[in-house]
Chain A
């Protein structure tokens, strides 16, 4: 276990549904990330939060909406998704200072299928 948990582990949703992915880290880190992992493509960084402030938004469509209420929790709100959004969504966290700066620890992911 890496200390990063994600729920749900699997999600099937229709294109008109609204759902949320949840991530929680138990490592005392101060930065959190959302990545998208599709088959045969590199992991794509979607959002970065540092000290609960969004510092990166890699041109992600507005149908993905992140929320970081505190340094331990990260959400990804989903609405009006497309079938091509089906992928593994990974959450990660890191300590944004000190000797271990840069080390990111990933959760197990949420396998999302959009029908």
Chain B
């Protein structure tokens, strides 16, 4: 089955700096890679995703890159703000019947003033 590794487990950046979180996956059949943000007391919220037919996707301050050959993908957050502080999860799946996401262990991002 799929195995997803995520690094780092904790990340502290100053407001305005960039943050990068990296994930690797094992199953070459995986073709869908979402990123979720989870704030305290809430469920994970989908913030951006990428499919295997593209190498990069941007949405305002966040971007995701995908390297299919190396089987890794990354989340980039620029101009970080205190409200970006949360736990971020990467995931991978192959979009067959009822996509089954395999999640990384999460990165706790702390944005300090």
Contact = CB atoms under 8 A, between A and B. Distances in A.
Contacts of B89: 42-43
A55 B98 contact: yes
A106 interface: yes
Interface stretch (B56-64, B65-73, B76-84, B103-111): B103-111
A108 B93 contact: no
Contact of A42 (B41, B46, B104): B104
A60 B49 CA distance: 28
Nearest to A40: B105
Contact of A56 (B34, B43, B100, B103): B100
Nearest to B42: A108
Interface in A4-32: 4, 6, 31
A94 interface: yes
Contacts, number: 69
A88 to B, nearest CB: 8
A105 interface: yes
Interface string A32-72: 01000000111101001110000110000000000000000
Interface residues of A, number: 28
Interface residues of B, number: 25
A104 B103 CA distance: 12
B65 to A, nearest CB: 18
B28 interface: no
A45 B100 CA distance: 8
A92 B93 CA distance: 15
Contacts of B46: 103-106
A11 to B, nearest CB: 15
Interface of A: 2, 4, 6, 31, 33, 40-43, 45, 48-50, 55-56, 90, 92, 94, 96, 101-109
6 contacts: A43-B103, A45-B101, A49-B98, A92-B43, A102-B95, A106-B45
Interface of B: 4, 32, 34, 36, 41-46, 49, 51, 89, 93, 95, 97-106
Q: Which 4 A-B pairs have the closest CB atoms?
A: A106-B43, A50-B98, A102-B32, A102-B99
